[in-house]
Amino acid sequence: MAPGRGIRSDKFKGKPPPSDPLSRKQRAQAALAKISETPLRDRAQVAPKTESQRRRIWEQWLIYARESDTDPEQVWIDLCFGTKAAADIIRGFLRSYAMESGEEHVCLSMNEEEEREWIRNVKTGVAIMHVWKNLVMWADETVLQKKRVEDPRNMALWRLTFYDAGASKAVRTGLIYSISLWIRETLVEELELSRNQSFEKVPTTAGDMTLYLDTLWRRADDIRCSPRQRVGTHLGLLLMGLGGFRPETIMGLPLQQVEMAVVRDPSDKTKTKLIAKITIYQNKQSTFSIKRKQDDVVAITLTIVPWPLLCVVSLMVMEALQMNAFEAPFTSLDEILQRPNLEGVDFVPLRWKRELLERPMIDIPYEFFWKTWYRILLVAGVRDPPRPYSMRVGAAGRMHESLEPHLCDYILGHSNGVFRSSYQPVNINKDLPRIAFDGESHFENLDRLYSLIANSSLRRDENAPIYVSRTEMRQWESRKDIRDLRAEYKKLRETVNADDPRAKRIVGRIQGVQRSLKLLTIEEKRQEYFEKVDSLRATGRSIPADLAGNEEPVKSRSNIESSKAAACIGKFLGQRNHAIGTSPHAFVLMGVAYLRGFPRSATDLALEHLDDGCNRKEERGSEPSDAENNQGKEQLLSRCLFGCRTFVNRGNLTRHTHAVHVVKQRDFDQPLECPECAHLGQKSELIDGLLAWSSHVERRHDSLHAPYAPKKETASKLERWKQVTASSKTRACKERFACLLCGLPATVGNGYSRHTNSNHKQGNTLEIFQCVACEQEGSEGLIVSGFDRWLEHTAAVHGRDGQTGHKIHATGTSCEEQRVSPENGRP
């Protein structure tokens, strides 16, 4: 239940107030004193976002009034009396605001004088009219509110109401309307502002949705994100495509707004169905209104569908199992459908754990969703990516064709008139000739053709560039703006450390320039690509392989292994021969393993359910294990069922189990459930000790994956080893640190250095490095060129030696890191 819903609350319970006259009198006096301190408002309070916009515009008005030697409050008082001079001052402000509100933007030019260009923010008539409205409303709520309190008998005089230039004839009077008219007829023409919307209203069709969801998984290597973010994005896109819900209503959707239940299948009484009731609270509603209706809440009930790519319920079950959110101890979709006892009833609710009711089912911020949406469309090859709003437009169109208008408007949370004005696409993809003249001639049925034409992704080309090259990024280092920022940072670092706010601001400015150059470069390359391929294809010529311009791509170094697993899951989702009894169950299993951080298990499960017989080693795409070095042999690998890695034989697996899971992590000190059984949706008994683990794995999962049962002397040796490692005071614990370039952990010192040399250094050649740590902090990864500069960045920003992983001393240098000094410390 969302905050503010319902009336059951402990705050209404308690002892009755005292009934004696003295107590009642004291309470009445206290209440009166408290009320007297609270002023009465004569305007409804607006949303915080709107109030913030009005406050910023008012601050600009105060600056303009000060510079023009004008009393900023007297102008509005004079406007109430209809003084034209006051209107002229306001018109001057609006013109100045439209002309001077802008900011410098990074350009691709390597000419020092053309690296930046100033762009005006106000480009449309709608924008400046919105500024005018906010200015009027803020003046009425502040300046004139005080006048109404001082002079209550003339309250009507001290009130201003905004009227647009398109207002009804009854209110086409007064200076407010006159200024609105002047904006529409004179200012827009004078400043060459656009009278139209700056975007084309297009729908995201069902074909578009399946393409984008398929791209999210199949091209996971090009859309790097964490497992939770990928599943959350998938779920958010599906809900927006189903009901046209705005992103703000589903981002952060808590468990308490989702009710799951098992019901008896009416078609076959021996079977059950899983349903999910999802309650959505519409936004863009009055925050402080007292509800007499329930038109701001929509509840939809869904069940499992055969194609997992379009199954909301499967994704929600996957998230719930990963969080262990069910009150009953479920481990798979099979258990959810089979365990509940429906004897004598047709409905069994599946309750959440109370402590998890506030936990979000879709745990991604809107900013991340927005960025991922555009990344998906970029990777899919869409030429002119539409806004996420297009999903609401597409859902509205589909519902208006299939549902009664009143039901469609209720789901969308608006009136029928709003649909016509805001959600009807400009392009009408209907067979109008057949509709008009079907009785006069025979027409071919072209429904499939017009359905294809309606797709906004029709003109896409997946081969279009989506990356910048290392050569292009090296060239950016010669730009004057980047050189100046690096010099400024170097000078500042002579007196302060990297944690100083001034140093962080400079690093942020460098990242901002690099980010802008990256976006501009990709946009320019795509425009050139589409122009060339359109010309070549139109003349019947083939497309050269090197035209895509994705050589030397600079990719994110984060979530590499999980992205490989996601791509394998994407192959499974891309199949079209899914069945209701198998595919959703398999998808939930591989999805839970994926969410829990077991990419190899998720990959194996995905490959097991592929129909094309793909080679596992090729599809997994992971680093080769010891056995894979024997290219001429096909041999089975032993696998650690805790999700660690594969081994060439059981002996290596046994040594790994002893060292990591018995001694280091002490996984067998307490009884545990088998993680592999949980991944496969099987029920597991409690396993008590290493011997029981070896026996369980051999019985349930194949002896190939079972460590050898420990002998008596081996067990005694392991116990002594555990005691030695636990009681040792002199031996320093080896620190493991996540690599700043790829995120994989390595032992600080020689282990980290070997990892760096084998995976990231290429001799003495100049390379491009993208910092994963900066990227995970929300700054999209600082990009540096050259390994020496990379070492400087890790020392200055992260306090680590980029070669060995050792911590840097407070002075900026250490005995291990003599290569980094305060004089050359740069990001």
> For 450-506, what is each residue's pLDDT tens digit?
888 888 899 999 999 999 988 888 888 889 999 999 999 999 988 888 888 898 899
In the beta sheet, which residues pair with residue 646?
639
What SS3 string covers 731-747?
CCCCCEEECCCCCCEEE
- Helices 712-727 and 690-701: crossing angle, nearest 10°? 120
Cβ contact 705:693 at 8 Å: no
Dist. CA 468–CA 555, nearest whole Å: 9
DSSP per-residue letters across 763-821: TTS--EEE-HHHIIIII---EEESHHHHHHHIIIIISB-TTT-PBPPTTS--SS-TT--
Dist. CA 79–CA 69, nearest whole Å: 17
Dist. CA 724–CA 820, nearest whole Å: 38
Low-confidence ranges of the chain (pLDDT < 70): 1-11, 165-173, 548-550, 612-636, 679-681, 684, 722-734, 743-745, 759, 761-770, 772-773, 775-786, 809-827
0.95 surpassed by pTM: no
DSSP per-residue letters across 479-501: SHHHHHHHHHHHHHHTTS-TTSH
Write down the pLDDT at residue 724. 64
Question: How are beta strands 116-120 and 102-106 bridged, if at all?
Answer: antiparallel
Sequence-distant (≥ 6) Cβ neighbours of residue 817 within 8 angstroms? 795, 801, 804, 806, 808
Write down the pLDDT at residue 636. 56
Cβ contact 781:770 at 8 Å: yes
Dist. CA 245–CA 280, nearest whole Å: 8
Write down the pLDDT at residue 527. 93
Dist. CA 171–CA 127, nearest whole Å: 22
Dist. CA 598–CA 551, nearest whole Å: 31
Dist. CA 634–CA 729, nearest whole Å: 47
The sign of the dihedral angle between the CA atoms of 242, 247, 251, 253 is: negative
Other C-beta atoms closer than 10 Å to the C-beta of 470 total 18
Candidates 705, 650, 660; CA nearest to 680 is 705
Dist. CA 680–CA 601, nearest whole Å: 9
Candidates 512, 522, 509; CA nearest to 472 is 522
Write down the pLDDT at residue 375. 95
Burial class of residue 126, CB neighbours in 10 A (0-12, 13-18, 19+): middle
Token pair recorded at residue 704:
């190939």
CA dihedral 382, 388, 390, 391 (to 10 degrees): 110
Dist. CA 620–CA 643, nearest whole Å: 14
User: Is residue 384 classed as helix, strand or coil in its secondary structure?
Assistant: coil
Which residue, chain included where needed, has tokens 């493991």? 736
Write down the pLDDT at residue 813. 38
Candidates 240, 281, 250; CA nearest to 3 is 281
